[in-house]
Amino acid sequence: LVLATGEQGAALLYTFKWLLICILIGLLVGSASAFFLVSLDWVTNYREENTWIIALLPLGGLVIGLLYHYYGGRSVKGNNLLLEEIHTPRERIPFRMAPLVLFGTLVTHLFGGSAGREGTAVQMGGTIADQFTKVFRLRPRDRKLLITAGISAGFASLFGTPLAGAIFGLEVFVVGRIRYESLLPSFLAAVIADYTCHHLWGVSHTVYAIPFVPELSVTGFVSALLAGVVFGLAGMVFSKATLLWGNIFQRYISYAPLRPVVGGVVLAGVVFAIGTTKYVGLGVPTILAAFSDPLPVYDSVVKILFTSFTLGAGFKGGEVTPLFFTGATLGNALSQAVPLPMALLAGMGFVAVFAGATNTPLTCTIMAIELFGAESSVYMALACVTAYIFSGHSGIYGSQVIGSPKH
Amino acid sequence: LVLATGEQGAALLYTFKWLLICILIGLLVGSASAFFLVSLDWVTNYREENTWIIALLPLGGLVIGLLYHYYGGRSVKGNNLLLEEIHTPRERIPFRMAPLVLFGTLVTHLFGGSAGREGTAVQMGGTIADQFTKVFRLRPRDRKLLITAGISAGFASLFGTPLAGAIFGLEVFVVGRIRYESLLPSFLAAVIADYTCHHLWGVSHTVYAIPFVPELSVTGFVSALLAGVVFGLAGMVFSKATLLWGNIFQRYISYAPLRPVVGGVVLAGVVFAIGTTKYVGLGVPTILAAFSDPLPVYDSVVKILFTSFTLGAGFKGGEVTPLFFTGATLGNALSQAVPLPMALLAGMGFVAVFAGATNTPLTCTIMAIELFGAESSVYMALACVTAYIFSGHSGIYGSQVIGSPKH
């Protein structure tokens, strides 16, 4: 029995090299996520206790707008810059992208914009990772793996879902394809970053519970597919709305720093007019409520409006937690018509709208398992896959490349 | 907000079409798996209660050898025929492949060969599915999806793991790449086939339990990687041993039907000499024991020898359950040296040796979650990914194409 020892030697070298690099990436990105999560918690609490601060949203918008306009350079592209550097590498991602997006996101949340946080973590992860390209003199192929590992580390540590984070890095670049080049780096960086954030820094994540999952039946199967179609359409509407508001702002306000100012005036006005902060910030309390209490049927639509307007105006953050909000509240509303438990539908919407808007059905199925446990995995997979099929070929990341048509 | 209604219409048509096809495939393949599982249970019990029948193993070998030689045609290629038809389609997979492999596997197990069962389910699934190519006048591209969905359905219903079955169909063809063309068909067929086998026919699957999973620590992380390396090497040894015995038999016995006869004489002789049926058949009792009782350290090596010899001689079945046996007993043995609980290491070996030998790390990670629950998922993923990296570029399926190098 001849062992291919040459091949094993290469595997060993490869593993050692990436283990070392991923320990560095994991420690740094996990720490960055921990700092971000704690700060985000702080600004969110401050805003909720001092809602008058939302009146200053236009001012916050101005600061973000000026910073990105005069100092941001390519950073303004956000997640898409990472995707573009993977597809057609040009030059090192500027380090300033990390502090800029961190600051921009905290300002957005402090003054009451409606946004997420995964964009921030992913951009910090990719940026921090790419700084090692020069340090270690990595070749172009290795640089791809490095950025991918950074993205996986950011996503994993932010949501406390190491496997979903690892797969997200592999799945997000090309619609309809996964390549395993960075399989090992992504898993190593994701697990280490999550460990750093959760165990070393002691930052905990929100716990969602689906108390009862019915055995699969024909009704349950059909319900999951139908709900998946609705979730996919919601994901598509979310993407298109974000794009639409971005286009409107660009068309009517040519001076970029002014866009979030105008956007901030409108948003702050609306918030004071409706008299609730339910739709600003991350919206975690409402996401949690969607698993147990009946909510207004329009919640998901209002959140799409708030977030697409906020991001289209040039505020910073991410889309994923608002996508969770949209999906969970939509699932909550669907439970009045679809014969599945409310918490199960809320959980399915939570991941499936995200799957549709970002074209990452496997990430979302695994995320559901990591957040809600394995019992509901078949429902989750059916909803995520169907949402993926029905969300159209363009998602919230404009620089995704289509590798394989959906249908 | 303009909806791309044309695209949604196409998605709807696509979904309806594949839902109909997958209901058919799922019902048929799930029923075939149910029949196979019940028959396999019957022949296994009969053999264990009448061990004298192992003396007739050479006779069983002769029957299988003659049938495949004079009547099998391309069927003798087994799983590789399915892979080849996906890569370079030639002609419809002959229907006879399904009954032949079913009969061959039952004979192998009845008379005490050491083999698995997933090859049988996968071949029945792919063959049954491909018969619809003509019925529905499907185009070549659709035929690929059809065969893939059949493979997913077979795997899912055999092991009671719908998501792992779905991913297996997507992951097995190309090493290092997944394409989503058959994402929806594979998930639909897998879920329906598993439902058919488990709920409609009431066939249950073995339950494995990992009672305690320690929180991740630096020691646990390093242990998982080290164990993964060992599991990957075991997977490689398994593949190479199967290939080696096949080559030896082909070289020294030119008349194919005689190979399983000679193999049967040797195997039956060894079984009576060592006086135990522990290493023949599927070996499920030993797999279960590996989760709770200390086992001899040589169990995994002996099982590799028995199975590679059985399959190399021309008996039928699959490799996966013997890979489970090899991995679970190897993990059991490793627990004497590696500071992780025995059941956890047995479970990690169970999936990771399989991941290494078939180059399907995502399938195996998801399978672990479906079989053992979500608690151990990080350990499972680390072991499966590392095993994949260290198992070399050739696995047990010779017709796999390398899409992306491992390191």
- How far A21 CA lies from chain B's nearest CA (Å)? 15
Same structural domain for residues B188 and B325?
A: no
Task: Give me the pLDDT at residue A90, please.
Answer: 87
Burial readout A249-258 (b: 16 or more C-beta within 10 A, e: otherwise): beeebeebbb
B163 → closest Cβ in A3, A192, A378: A378
Residue A136: per-residue pLDDT: 87
- Residue B221 contacts A where some CB pair is shorter than 8 Å: yes
In tens, the pLDDT along A198-238 reads 999 999 999 999 999 999 999 999 999 999 999 999 999 99
Q: Note whether A403 contacts B236, CB cutoff 8 Å.
A: no
How much is the average pLDDT of B316-326? 94
Instruction: Say what the pLDDT of residue B399 is.
Output: 86
Q: What per-residue confidence (pLDDT) applies to B78?
A: 87
Domain end, chosen from A165, A200, A235, is at: A200
Better-scored residue on pLDDT, A138 or B360: B360
- From B257's Cα to the closest Cα of chain A, the distance in A is 26
User: Which of A11, A221, A236 is facing B406, going by the closest CB pair?
Assistant: A11
Q: Which of A200, A229, A246 is the last residue of a domain?
A: A200
Residue of A nearest to B382 (CA): A187
For residue B178, the chain A residues in CB contact (below 8 A) are: 177-178
> Does residue B157 contact residue B203 with C-beta atoms inside 8 Å?
no
Task: Assess whether pLDDT exceeds 90 at residue A78.
Answer: no
Q: Is the pLDDT reported for residue B3 higher than 60?
A: no
Q: Which residue segment(s) compose the domain that A332 sits in? A: 218-402
Average pLDDT of the residues in A372-393: 97
- Pairwise CA distance, residues A235 & B121, whole Å: 37
Beta bridge partners of B401: B174
Q: Which of residues 34-53 of A touch B (CB under 8 A)?
A: none
The size of the A-B interface in CB pairs under 8 A is 167
CA distance B181 to A406: 7
Does B222 share its domain with B191?
no
Collapsing DSSP to helix, strand or coil, A174 comes out as: strand
Is A213 part of a structural domain of the chain? no
Q: Are both B355 and B227 inside the same structural domain?
A: yes
Q: Does B94 lie in the same domain as B17?
A: yes
**One domain for residues A196 and A227:** no
| Same domain? A167 vs A237 | no
* Band (A75; pLDDT cuts 50, 70, 90): confident
Within a domain: A206: no
Residues in B closer than 8 angstroms to A179, CB to CB, are 176-177, 403-404
A2 pLDDT exceeds 50? Answer: no
Pair A249, A356 in one domain: yes
pLDDT > 90: what percent of chain A?
86
pLDDT band at A4 (very low <50, low <70, confident <90, very high): low
SS3 assignment, position B317: coil
Query: Is the domain of A300 the same as that of A350?
Result: yes
Q: Which amino acid is at A335?
A: S
* Residue A178, strand partner residues: B178
Q: Are residues A195 and A246 in the same domain?
A: no
pLDDT at B2: 45
Say yes or no for a CB contact (<8 Å) between B163 and A377.
yes
Buried b (16+ CB within 10 A) or exposed e, A148-160: bbbbbbbbbbbbb
Amino acid at residue number B217 = S
In angstroms, the separation between the Cα of residue A11 and the nearest Cα of chain B is 6
State the DSSP string of A112-151. T----SHHHHHHHHHHHHHTHHHHTT--HHHHHHHHHHHH
> Which residues have CB under 8 Å from B307's CB, separation 6+?
B114, B115, B116, B238, B242, B319, B322, B326
Distance CA B41, CA B48 (A): 11
Answer with the one of B200, B227, B250 that is the final residue of a domain. Answer: B200
Quick check: is A37 in a domain? yes
Phi, psi of A197 (to 5 degrees): -70, -45
The overall average pLDDT reported for chain A is: 95
In 3D space, the residue among A190, A118, A93, A121 whose CA is nearest the CA of residue A149 turns out to be A190
* Whether residues B242 and B311 fall in one domain: yes
- The Cα B317–Cα B118 span in angstroms is 7
pLDDT band at A91 (very low <50, low <70, confident <90, very high): confident
Distance CA B208, CA B343 (A): 9
Q: What are the chain B neighbours of A403 within 8 Å (beta carbons)?
A: 179
Helices A377-390, B183-195: crossing angle, 10 deg rounding: 150
* Interaxial angle between packed helices B218-252 and A5-49, expressed in degrees from 0 to 180 and rounded to the nearest 10: 140
pLDDT of residue B1: 41
CATH of the domain at B126: 1.10.3080.10
Q: Give the confidence band of A1 by pLDDT, cuts at 50, 70, 90.
A: very low
Average pLDDT of B359-380?
97
Residue B92 has pLDDT above 50, yes or no: yes
Strands B174-175 and A174-175: unpaired
What are the DSSP calls for B347-391, one per residue? HHHHHHHHHHHHT-HHHHHHHHHHHH-STTHHHHHHHHHHHHHHS
Please tell me whether residues B195 and B332 are part of one structural domain. no
Mutation test of the interface with chain B: which of A3, A171, A183, A219, choosing the one with the most B Cβ atoms within 10 A?
A183
B219 touches A at CB < 8 Å: no
A407 located within any domain: no
- Note whether residue A3 is domain-resident: no
Q: Is residue A118 part of a domain?
A: yes
Q: Is B96 a residue whose pLDDT tops 70?
A: yes
A382 at B interface, C-beta within 8 A? yes
Residue B174, domain member (yes or no): yes
* One-character DSSP codes across B336-353: TTSSS-HHHHHHHHHHHH
Q: Are B40 and B106 in contact (CB under 8 A)?
A: yes
- Residue B4: the pLDDT is 57
* Band (A323; pLDDT cuts 50, 70, 90): very high
pLDDT at B225 over 80: yes
CA distance linking residue B322 with residue A314, whole number of Å: 57
Q: Which chain B residue has the Cα nearest residue A141?
A: B407
Alpha helices in B215-298 (DSSP H): 218-252, 258-274, 284-289
A94, exposed or middle or buried, with CB in 10 Å at 0-12, 13-18, 19+?
middle
Q: Is residue B299 part of a domain?
A: yes
Residue-level pLDDT at B91: 86
Strands B177-179 and A177-179: antiparallel
CA distance A312 to chain B (A): 14
Does A373 lie at the interface with B, CB-CB under 8 angstroms?
Answer: yes
**Residue A114 CB coordination number (10 Å):** 30
User: Could you report the per-residue pLDDT of B124-168, keeping only the tens digit for each?
Assistant: 999 999 999 988 888 888 999 999 999 999 999 999 999 999 999
Query: Which residues, in sequence order, are bridge partners of residue A177?
Result: B179
> Which among A351, A362, A323, A392 is positioned nearest to A177, based on CA atoms?
A362
Residue ranges of B 151-170 with Cβ closer than 8 A to chain A: 162-163, 166-167
Q: Secondary structure of A271-285 in the HEC alphabet?
A: HHHHCCCCCCCCCHH
Identify the burial level of B148 via C-beta atoms within 10 angstroms of its C-beta, where 0-12 means exposed, 13-18 middle and 19 or more buried. Answer: buried
Buried-state track B281-311, b at ≥16 Cβ within 10 A, e below 16:
bbbeebbbbbbeeebeeebbbbbbbbbbbbb
Q: What is the mean pLDDT of residues A85-102?
A: 91
pLDDT, tens digit, for every residue of B388-401? Answer: 999 998 888 888 98
Q: How far apart are the C-alpha atoms of A156 and A163, rounded to whole Å?
A: 7
Domain count, chain A: 2
Interval A235-285: pLDDT, tens: 999 999 999 999 999 999 999 999 999 999 999 999 999 999 999 999 999
Interface of A with B in 173-192 (CB under 8 A): 176-181, 183-184, 187, 191-192
pLDDT averaged over chain B? 95
* Residues B228 and B368 occupy one common structural domain: yes
First-to-final CA distance of chain B: 46
The rounded distance, in Å, linking the Cα atoms of A167 and A158 is 14
Residues of chain A contacting residue B19, judged by C-beta atoms under 8 Å apart: 225
Taking only the tens place, the pLDDT of each residue in A41-59 is: 999 999 999 999 999 999 9
